[in-house]
């Protein structure tokens, strides 16, 4: 089997004496779409923060494209092709929608390709096209989520990492966001998706990990996890 694009091995994250992640191992192959699901406080965001360099892991290793990541800062990890849309989005409220999209491409110099990609993103998100010149802070929560996703795509990441894209959104907006996530997947993007909405997450991915109290408790093909009685009872409300 070829080496996975992302390999996390025995990762632990602590907040002082609190252990949020306990010896977690997870991998994502190039072109694969993988989800990490779990209840509130399971340790999903902590895992992603350690992956993207926002938090220092207390143990474990992370390799990306065969290279160790754990000694690199967040900016260097982005340069390597790791882009994350954080929980709560974090768009630049005073900048316009268009300026926000451009900040996603700040590492790139290929101006024509950047313009083409902005067009493609605006085709995916017609809501944003109508608000290009408006400050991002005036957008609805769902529109900000779209913008944050668009901005991450502007860096043309090798791995796109999403933390709870459905959080706090009305069902119709969740549907729209997930429709775009599916399209992004079909376009060949490699994806690691963290979600509380386990059903949606398992529907757009091929493989999943279930996390509980800092540990991976179950993993497998997404369609099998959708059928798993334990998953159905705990995460699908059945």
Ligand X SMILES: Nc1ncnc2c1ncn2[C@@H]1O[C@H](COP(=O)(O)OP(=O)(O)OP(=O)(O)O)[C@@H](O)[C@H]1O
From the list 167, 225, 172, the residue with the least C-alpha distance to 34 is: 225
Determine, following the binding rule CB under 6 A, whether residue 41 of this chain makes contact with ligand X: yes
CB of 43 to Mg ion, least distance (A): 8
Cβ distance 152 to 121 under 8 Å? no
Q: Is residue 201 within 8 Å of 195, Cβ to Cβ? A: yes
Q: Which stretch binds ligand X (CB under 6 A): 25-33, 42-50, 74-82, 119-127?
A: 42-50
Angle at 18 between CA 17 and CA 20, to 5 degrees: 140
Residue among 40, 67, 71, 111 that touches ligand X (CB under 6 A): 40
C-beta closer to ligand X: residue 58 or 196? 196
190 lines the binding site for Mg ion (CB under 5 A): no
Binder of ligand X out of 12, 22, 35, 45 (CB under 6 A): 45
For ligand X, the binding residue among 28, 43, 121, 202 (CB under 6 A) is: 43
Tokens representing residue 218 in the block = 């179950």
Q: At what angle do helices 171-186 and 111-124 cross, to 10 degrees?
A: 140
Q: Sort strands 191-195 and 33-38 into parallel, antiparallel or unpaired.
A: parallel
The rounded distance, in Å, linking the Cα atoms of 15 and 192 is 23
Judged by CB under 5 A, the stretch of 45-53, 92-100, 201-209, 211-219 that binds Mg ion is 45-53
- CA of 67: how far to CAs of 27, 49, 72, 80, 187, in Å? 14, 18, 10, 10, 25
Task: Tell me which residues in 81-100 interact with ligand X (CB under 6 A).
Answer: 87
Which residues in 2-31 contact ligand X (CB under 6 A)? 15, 18, 20
C-beta of 52 vs 117, nearer to Mg ion: 52
Closest separation between CB of residue 42 and ligand X, Å? 4
Among 7, 45, 52, 117, binds Mg ion (CB under 5 A): 45
Footprint on this chain of ligand X (rule: CB under 6 A)? 15, 18, 20, 38, 40-46, 87, 196
């Amino acid at each position: 089997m070829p080496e996975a694009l992302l390999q996390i091995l025995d990762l632990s994250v602590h907040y002082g004496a609190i252990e949020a992640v306990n010896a977690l191992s997870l991998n994502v192959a190039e072109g694969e779409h993988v989800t990490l699901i779990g209840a509130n406080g399971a340790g999903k965001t902590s895992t992603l923060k350690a992956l993207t360099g926002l938090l220092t892991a207390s143990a474990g290793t992370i390799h990306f494209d065969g290279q160790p990541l754990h000694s690199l800062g967040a900016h260097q990890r982005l340069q390597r092709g790791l882009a994350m849309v954080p929980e709560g989005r974090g768009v630049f409220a005073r900048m316009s929608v268009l300026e926000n999209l451009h900040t996603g491409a700040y590492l790139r110099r290929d101006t024509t390709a950047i313009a083409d990609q902005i067009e493609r993103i605006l085709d995916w998100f017609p809501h944003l096209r109508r608000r290009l010149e408006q400050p991002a802070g005036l957008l609805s929560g769902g529109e900000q989520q779209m913008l944050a996703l668009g901005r991450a795509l502007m860096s043309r990441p090798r791995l796109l990492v999403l933390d709870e894209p459905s959080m706090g959104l009305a069902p119709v907006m969740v549907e729209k966001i997930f429709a775009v996530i599916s399209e992004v997947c079909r376009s060949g993007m490699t994806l690691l998706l963290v979600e509380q909405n386990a059903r949606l997450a398992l529907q757009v991915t091929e493989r999943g990990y279930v996390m509980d109290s800092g540990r991976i408790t179950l993993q497998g093909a997404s369609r099998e996890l959708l059928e798993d009685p334990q998953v159905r009872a705990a995460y699908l409300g059945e």
